[in-house]
Structure 1
Amino acid sequence: MRLHRLLAGTMFVLVLPQAHARSPEAPIVTVRPSAAVIPANMLRLSFEFAMAPEGPVLPGIALSHADGSDLREPFLAQELWSPDGRILTLLLHPGRVKSGLVAREALGPILVPGDDVVLTLDGRPLKRWHVGPPDLHGPVESAWHVFPVAPASRQSLVVRLDAPIDGRDADYMAVVDADDRPVDGHAELLDGETTWTFTPDAPWHAGRYRLVVRGTLEDPSGNRLNGHFEAPLDTPDAPAVDATVVFDIGSTPGIPLSPRSSR
């Protein structure tokens, strides 16, 4: 398992969980994946806290079946924190997610299609998921749909993705204008991380734009734009290659965008 590939482009602080207690005064704002269904080969999840908690969090986190029985050792014993200490990313044990590895053969997969699982913190339910089939394909930017926006407005650009992406990857996409100047604004992931929205700081001008997608963008199962997590062990990683989706904003409000994908 190549953690540098999974975490490329994202800054984390690594903390190994200890036995001392965690401060309870750090409510969780968001758990991602936020959708009701997750793939059986989900590799990571994240928690956003309202404030940086004190002490390790992982000892209090459990993943259980709907009947309350715990799943056996589902997580890597690592806490990956954002620099501000508010967002925690946990990895499900890669040796049990990827087929053909010793840990999976010995302990079995963590998630099984058709199951219902519950994520808890200190015994308190945080999220309930239904486990769907594994996702072996990864994001395909040529299948994304870009919705129209009106020029001379600050209407949010909405991009419907072909499948959920990692909840931490909203800023792995950027909009640039015809002169290759970045468009300032705020990006957000919605609808179970299947919709990317971008609200510009200034009104749109009519013309051509490009949505630039970082090559290290991934889905929750570790699949990249041009690379699959579930690949033979002797297969070298494909280099991360940025992609672009070209679209036009017409001079008349309501004229559809014309998206085209390129590498």
Structure 2
Amino acid sequence: MNGISKNYKLLRIRLCTLYSLVFFTASLLVTCRSGDKTGLVICWNDNRATGLVIPERYVVSIAPNSLSRLLSVRRQGVETAIAGQFQRSDEGMLFEPLVPFTRGLVYELWLRNKRLSEIEIPALADSDRPFLKGIYPSADTLPENLLKVYLQFSRPMREGQSLRYVTLLKNGTDTLSGTFLDLQPELWDADRTMLTLWLDPGRIKRNLHPNQQLGAPLQAGTTYRLVVSGEWPDAQGATLGKTLSKTFVTDARDGVSPDPMQWSMNHPPPGTSQPLVITFPEPLDYSLLLETFRIRREDSTLVSGTWRTSFDEEKIVFSSAKPWLAGNYTLRIESRLEDLAGNNLNRPFDRDITQNKSDTTFQVYKEKRFQIR
């Protein structure tokens, strides 16, 4: 009889314990669903959400060597855990993501397969968002063997993920894949604000295997739309917020190198600060236009000033820092300057490399002389 009584008491204790656990779990789930304060704290560094402090109550029962295996932080609606590391801090458990959290998104804390809590990273005001300043080339008609596209942003963007946010549509409906090279690291400028996207050169150059197998990335007489997603975050985690696009039509292939002798140039009057404008018969590469021009006086003194492109990259404008002096000048252009198809001043991009002929015409730069009088 005493044995039965002891077993009955033990059963009551177990049932009470089980009931308490069920009640605690249900309470926790209700709290998460109701949106009450969770105690999660965002860590900020240079206006970026770089960490998340998790209260001790969420992790007290987890062995330190099991944290990375059992506990995870996920973007809401995504099953994959965010890459990062957990470490103990004075306030609790600190999670530091490999890249900062994205502004305006909701992140969830998971223990095994159970969601414990969530927190939203505050979005920036529209005035604080990055924006896309330009898509180059600017022209609406481009050669079918277009080699590069430039995206110019207002501030540094998150790197290594560009092809997630850039889409090319053909005739408004067909999404093209494999058009741009997935280069890692990506080709950002020194300020990390301009990205160069290369169309696959192996598909552009005729008689190469990728071209014969897959065809050229673009076809003449076709309408394309380049779409840049508003979800693209900058280095601080703030997204563009607005999806932008550029529509263009492709024309025939361009297989001829630019010829500086065919460029026209105005001659500002001496004693003035009027700009010098150089006009080309075709658009040239946006980025290289800003890097490859120099002007020197007859005594080889470099003329200081600023360059800017104009008229869909069919013009470049030089504003001298000082009024023009009368005399002879030399415009020096680095031969690496290209047109939109990658043809530089020395040779076409798509040339027959099977012919082992020495290139006796190669020059590091080309020159044009002019007078201010």
* Shared fold per TM-score greater than 0.5: yes
Q: Which residue of structure 1 lines up, in the alignment, with residue 140 of structure 2?
A: 36
Q: 179, 183, 197: which one pairs with 1:74?
A: 179
Q: For 1:208-219, what aligned pairs fall within 5 Å after superposition?
A: 208-219=328-339
Gap regions ≥5 residues in structure 2 = 1-82, 84-98, 104-128, 231-242
Q: 1:72: how far off?
A: 3.0
Q: 1:28: how far off?
A: 0.8
Q: Which residue of structure 2 lines up, in the alignment, with residue 101 of structure 1?
A: 208
Code of the residue aligned with 2:287 in structure 1: it is: R
Q: Which residue of structure 2 lines up, in the alignment, with residue 131 of structure 1?
A: 250
Q: Which residue of structure 2 lines up, in the alignment, with residue 89 of structure 1?
A: 196
* Mapped partners of 1:125, 1:86: distance in 2: 17
Code of the residue aligned with 2:337 in structure 1: it is: L
Q: Which residue of structure 1 lines up, in the alignment, with residue 225 of structure 2?
A: 118
Q: 1:122: how far off?
A: 2.0
Deviations 1:172-192 (A, max 9, x none): 011111111110000011111
Q: 1:21: how far off?
A: 9.5
* Mapped partners of 2:195, 2:140: distance in 1: 20
User: Matched residue pairs, number?
Assistant: 233
Does 2:327 match 1:207?
Answer: yes
Q: Which residue of structure 2 lines up, in the alignment, with residue 245 of structure 1?
A: 368
Deviations 1:202-234 (A, max 9, x none): 000011111100011111211010111110132
Q: For 1:38-57, what aligned pairs fall within 5 Å after superposition?
A: 38-55=142-159, 56-57=161-162
* Mapped partners of 1:136, 1:96: distance in 2: 15
Code of the residue aligned with 1:67 in structure 2: it is: G
* Mapped partners of 1:213, 1:40: distance in 2: 26
More helix by share: 2
> Greater relative contact order: 1 or 2 (C-alpha under 8 angstroms, separation 6 or more)?
1
Gap regions ≥5 residues in structure 1 = 1-17, 251-263
Does 2:261 match 1:157?
Answer: no
8 Å Cα contact 2:225/2:247 also seen in 1: yes
8 Å Cα contact 2:284/2:314 also seen in 1: yes
Does 2:136 match 1:27?
Answer: no
* Mapped partners of 1:59, 1:206: distance in 2: 53
> What is the TM-score of this pair, normalised by structure 2?
0.59
For structure 1, which segment, 24-33 or 59-68, has the greater mean C-alpha deviation from structure 2 after superposition? 24-33
Q: CA RMSD in A?
A: 2.2
SS at match of 1:109: coil
Specify whether residues 51 and 108 from structure 1 end up closer, same or farther in structure 2 by C-alpha distance, changes over 3 A only: same
Q: Which residue of structure 2 lines up, in the alignment, with residue 172 of structure 1?
A: 292
Q: 349, 357, 365: which one pairs with 1:229?
A: 349
Deviations 1:145-202 (A, max 9, x none): 0112111011000010122111001220111111111100000111111101100000
For structure 1, which segment, 207-216 or 57-66, has the greater mean C-alpha deviation from structure 2 after superposition? 57-66
For structure 1, which segment, 42-51 or 103-112, has the greater mean C-alpha deviation from structure 2 after superposition? 103-112
* Mapped partners of 1:30, 1:127: distance in 2: 10
* Mapped partners of 1:247, 1:22: distance in 2: 55
Q: 1:240: how far off?
A: 4.3
Structure 1 or 2, whichever has the larger Rg, is 2
8 Å Cα contact 2:172/2:223 also seen in 1: no
Q: 1:31: how far off?
A: 0.8
Deviations 1:98-152 (A, max 9, x none): 1111111111111111101000012734211110111111211000001121110
Q: Which residue of structure 1 lines up, in the alignment, with residue 109 of structure 2?
A: none
Show structure 1 runs of 4+ deviating over 6 A: none
Q: Which residue of structure 2 lines up, in the alignment, with residue 193 of structure 1?
A: 313
The share of aligned pairs that are identical, in percent, is 27
